[in-house]
Amino acid sequence: MRADPTEYELVAPGSLHEVTSLLEREPGGWLPIAGGTDIMVQYAAGKLAARKLVSIGDLPELRRIEVADGEVRIGSACTYTSVRKHSIVSQEFPLLAKAASWTGGIANQNRGTLGGNIANASPAADSLPALLVYEAELILVSARGERRVPYLNFHLGYKKMGLAPDELIRAICLPRRYAGYHASARKVGARNAQAISKVCIAALGRVAFGVVTDVRIAVGSVAPVPMRLTETEKLIVGRAINTEMLSSSRKAAAAEIRPIGDIRSTAKYRAAVTGNLVVEFLEQLRQSEAGA
């Protein structure tokens, strides 16, 4: 059943202050909508539970990318297009720029936002593994003020997150400390554009004299939330990349995830592919030193 527009309210107050005031008066009563690339799909299908929406996509406070010495701060309503075209983001955070480039087609990249990708909290969201490996922090805002929280563990369970009913994601902060890292991202799906991932990975690593000195690996579509493979990382750090290490990393990654079978893939396939993607990343990491 198609949605009936007469049953919905949509307001566009035009300033962040007015939006947070509205959320303060009726916490949880208004669903923020930015580019609408997820919400309007549910709406068109007649499946949007919220009846009152507040537009935040045009708030100037949320559309800026600010570059400071220590971090890059991306406003939550910045689109994938603005993220992938930003020179510093694409140079220093290539995993995020790459994920933005394979999220939907161009029209969806022009509308979809990074904050929306977080708040929609899909386990298959393409940009979220990159935020995990870069150890992003979120600035949350409400009429009570702002607070800053690590993005790691922000997703508490399927579509559940550490956001109060009167709060809004204001910005995503990325620390500028990954210049010397080898970065690798890959999406496995039926097709790159538009298709939702079966598995996607983002990984960062450093290697010296053949030994891994630091590593961060995150995967999407393999658990109720996008996840860092912290156990697998522990097994990798401090070791030389050789056949035995690759084999144990593959097994650890496949064991650490919690995949399900759904319309896009099976749990068994996702576990096998996750192991393969971790091995592929480690092989590239080894070569990155050889080539440097």
Partner 1 sequence: MTTSGAQVNLSLKVNGQDRDVRVYPMDRLLDVLRNDLRLTGAKEGCGEGECGSCSVLLNGELVNSCLVPVLQARDAEIVTIEGLAQGPRLHTLQEAFLECGGAQCGICTPGMILAAFHLLEDNPQPSLDEIREGLSGNLCRCTGYVQIFEAVARASRSEPTE
Does position 53 bind partner 1 by CB under 8 A? yes
Does position 284 bind partner 1 by CB under 8 A? no
**Tokens 């496949």 found at:** 254
CA 259/CA 271 separation, integer angstroms = 7
CA 207/CA 205 separation, integer angstroms = 7
Pick from 134, 194, 181: nearest CA to 288: 181
Residue 14 or 210: the one with the smaller Cβ distance to partner 1 is 14
Does position 10 bind partner 1 by CB under 8 A? yes
Pick from 106, 118, 96, 270: nearest CA to 188: 270
Residue selected from 90, 110, 120, 288 as contacting partner 1 according to rule CB under 8 A = 110
Residue 30 or 134: the one with the smaller Cβ distance to partner 1 is 30
Does position 243 bind partner 1 by CB under 8 A? no
CA 21/CA 143 separation, integer angstroms = 6
Size of the site for partner 1 (CB under 8 A): 36
Residue 111 or 170: the one with the smaller Cβ distance to partner 1 is 111
Binding mask of the shown chain, residues 180 to 219, with x at each position contacting partner 1 by CB under 8 A: ------------xxx-------------------------
Residue selected from 17, 45, 153, 231 as contacting partner 1 according to rule CB under 8 A = 45
Burial of 269 (0-12, 13-18, 19+ CB in 10 A): middle
Select from 49-57, 68-76, 182-190, 238-246 the region that touches partner 1 (CB under 8 A): 49-57
Residue selected from 25, 44, 164, 231 as contacting partner 1 according to rule CB under 8 A = 44
Is the separation of the CB atoms in 206 and 214 below 8 Å?
A: yes
**Residue 164 CB coordination number (10 Å):** 13
Does position 158 bind partner 1 by CB under 8 A? no
Site for partner 1 in 62-101 (CB under 8 A): 81
Does position 1 bind partner 1 by CB under 8 A? no
* Shortest Å, Cβ 187 to partner 1: 13
CA 218/CA 203 separation, integer angstroms = 6
CA 159/CA 99 separation, integer angstroms = 20
Which H or E run includes 27? none
Residue selected from 28, 46, 60, 105 as contacting partner 1 according to rule CB under 8 A = 105
**Tokens 């916490």 found at:** 27
Supply the angle between the helices 267-291 and 243-256 in degrees, to the nearest 10. 140
Residues of this chain that bind partner 1 (CB under 8 A):
3, 5-13, 18, 33, 35-37, 40-41, 43-45, 52-53, 55, 57-58, 81, 104-108, 110-111, 192-194
